[in-house]
Chains A and B, each alone.
Chain A
Amino acid sequence: MNEQQVTLRVEDVTKRYGGFTAVEDLSFNVRAGKVFGFLGPNGAGKTTTIRMIVGITAPDEGRIELFGQRISPETQDKIGYLPEERGLYKKMKIFEQLRYFAALKGVSQKLADERIDFWLERMNLSDWKKKKTTDLSKGMSQKIQFISTVLHDPDLLILDEPFSGLDPVNVEFMIEAVAELKAQHKTIIFSTHLMETAERLCDDIILINKSRKVIGGSLREVKQSFGKNLIALRSEGGGAVLEDRSLIAKITEHADEREIELAANADAQILLKKLIDNGATISKFEQVEPSLNDIFIEKVKGI
């Protein structure tokens, strides 16, 4: 990873609440312009970590840097944060609250008004500009909350469970918006426990459980580090090789293919070579990547 490309650097961060350690010795980097998946079960320490990044709380140990700067009121203005549990002022008009949230991020009223109009248009909510929150449906207010996090044109966007409670149409809408921001070279941290969405959107991931990092890196690296000992094979012949216990730990027969789990220290390339040498006709030989979901379940259960 190139140094200049790092937006956020978290180094050896620990946070305790009384006797309880919420985050322990956590380190990771978020690359500029990438979508970073922050994964973990509920209570793993995701929200605590995010609160330290946005400057709500400070770490007890370790350091956090955004664009090479320690977290401070200035770095707060570069972050757009959409918390998991979020709300709007009930009795205030939509554009008034959006203006207020923008002002708190240091945006002038004129600029804020332009952006409010742009985003309301973009989200098909222009007609609701002068309505109050109580008049909105749940999906609409979530879109408004999303708008409030991007009004100050932040370089880093932190979305904590952004799709919870959204219907599929609105989920697509939000995914498009995220993709658009990514195209503008914004960095996006995306916290979720929905592995399918993470798999679809993220370039890099980190998985934390019980306050500690379990695994991290680019999506590809993570999957490969998991998937290298599982092979899907469709072949004819080469039967003797498949009996070799030094190569193969386990074979699961499927309708027209076999799932082969390699023995420890065995190499897939050697298996392939031996099969060919033994005259097997191979129509499929694939190193299978486990889904993020599989990794998640195994890692979280295994610890």
Chain B
Amino acid sequence: MKKFLAVVKHEYKKIVLKWSFLLVTLLFPVLSAAFAVVPALLFSIKSEPTRIALVDETKRIAPRIRENLALEKTPSEEKQPTAEELVKNSTATSPDEQMKRAAEQFGATFNVVEYDAAAKSLDQIKRELTGKIIGKELDAYLIVPSDYEAENAKFEFFSRKAGDYVANSQLERAINGAVRSQRLADANISEDRLKDLSRNVDFTKTAISEKGDEKNTEGVFIASFVISMMLYITLMIYGQQIMSAVVEEKETRIAEILFSSAKPFELMMGKLVGVGLAGLTQLAIWITSALLLVGVGLANLSAAGVNISVPDITPLTVVYFFIFFLLGFFIYATIYALIGSMVTTVQEGGQFALLPIMFLVAGFIISTNIVRDPNSSLAFWASIAPFLAPITMPVRILAETPPFWQIALSILLNGATIGFLVWLAARVYRVGMLMYGKRATIPEVFKWIRQK
């Protein structure tokens, strides 16, 4: 026990007192903030205004389109978006919605170019305007059909930048709005009444949990993304740290000295526990600072009159989170230790390490699905399955806490997996660490496992 503690202390200090530990600890919050803000910032880079010519024989639709386009671009012209809005913007529940919002906020702008189409044939108009586009005097033009009310009326849009979906969807909305207004006007409805009728509804999304509580979906989405990312990164980093430490002891033949001082099992478990505690330290720092930041941020926001609800993170959620981190850590660290004692160099280990990484990536990907539907059968199976549960279950708990028996079952199954893996790794470790020179073959490893 005394020796086990000596190994734990040694491994813990070896990691925590290194510069890289401090660096990663500080860098992760910065990076995740960057991940959240950068996409929004990218949208804020305004594209050049689109110079558009509106051709409208009837002269009834074009003015309305122009008016609608002018309305749409006001937000971005009136004020620059603040940082808070940027962050808020990136919390949209789906990428699609995120895009729409960005479009609203930083919308493409249109400059309507005057063009006199009087007494020209349609072909002539098209030829002239296309010529202007080629001559870079114009970016796009729209031809409003004279029979705009007919069912098969076609609005033709020609553009140099037909791929600019932000501009296109904006234009489409403007056109639809314009035609709708005109149809209503044709039906003798006054302009005031019209405005009243076409006012947008106020659409707030609130998810209802099984218990009937109201939940804010955006907060859950971002929190679970951050958490699965955190788990994915720490499990991978610490797993590989274990592997390279094991390989170093094997490569330098320190293993021989270690094995003559303590039991291989003590040495292996000491290493796992020491590195695990280092990982736990890092996570504790991250979570505390995240909770503090969110707390301070919310206080500021509500002082400024903005109300954002965050997912309710209870102490129990945090406890679950640490339990599943530890389960995941011991599963992956043991696999990495096993790999480390089979190979002769870190590079060789890297090839085998693809397997655990695949499991980690799978867990990460599945958890994005779980946030959307935490009660699906995929969510159920993935959150109790060994290897996947350490990432998927915390996400599921956050999105929609499952019944306790499912959490207990998940802990039990993954705990049993750890028991098996530790047994396996210990048997490979005690033999493999003293085998120098060449990589073990799979039949050899099976022989080691059976060896008494």
Contact = CB atoms under 8 A, between A and B. Distances in A.
B3 interface: yes
B316 to A, nearest CB: 38
Interface in A273-303: none
A56 B6 CA distance: 19
A183 interface: no
Contacts of B252: 86-90
A86 B434 CA distance: 12
B248 interface: yes
Contacts of B10: 100, 103
Main secondary structure of the interface of A (DSSP, over half): loop
A136 interface: no
Interface in B231-261: 248, 251-254, 256-261
B257 A83 contact: yes
Contacts of A55: 260
A125 interface: no
A56 B436 contact: no
Interface in A98-124: 100-101, 103-106
Contacts of A87: 251-254
Interface stretch (A73-81, A192-200, A212-220, A254-262): A73-81
A89 B7 contact: no
A284 B6 CA distance: 64
B244 to A, nearest CB: 11
A126 B374 CA distance: 62
Interface residues of A, number: 25
A89 B10 CA distance: 12
Contacts of A81: 256-257, 260
B450 to A, nearest CB: 11
Interface string B312-331: 00000000000000000000
Nearest to A58: B452
- For B252, B256, B436, B447, which residue has the most chain A Cβ atoms within 10 angstroms? B256
A85 B260 contact: no
A81 B258 CA distance: 10
A106 B254 CA distance: 17
A90 B256 CA distance: 16
A209 interface: no
Interface in A233-267: none
B262 interface: yes
30 contacts: A18-B447, A51-B434, A54-B260, A56-B259, A76-B261, A79-B260, A81-B256, A81-B257, A83-B253, A83-B260, A85-B253, A85-B436, A86-B253, A86-B256, A87-B252, A87-B254, A89-B248, A90-B252, A92-B14, A100-B6, A100-B10, A101-B257, A101-B261, A103-B10, A104-B3, A104-B7, A104-B258, A104-B261, A104-B262, A148-B257
Interface of B: 2-3, 6-7, 9-10, 14, 248, 251-254, 256-263, 434, 436, 447
Interface of A: 18, 51, 54-56, 73, 76-77, 79, 81, 83, 85-90, 92, 100-101, 103-106, 148
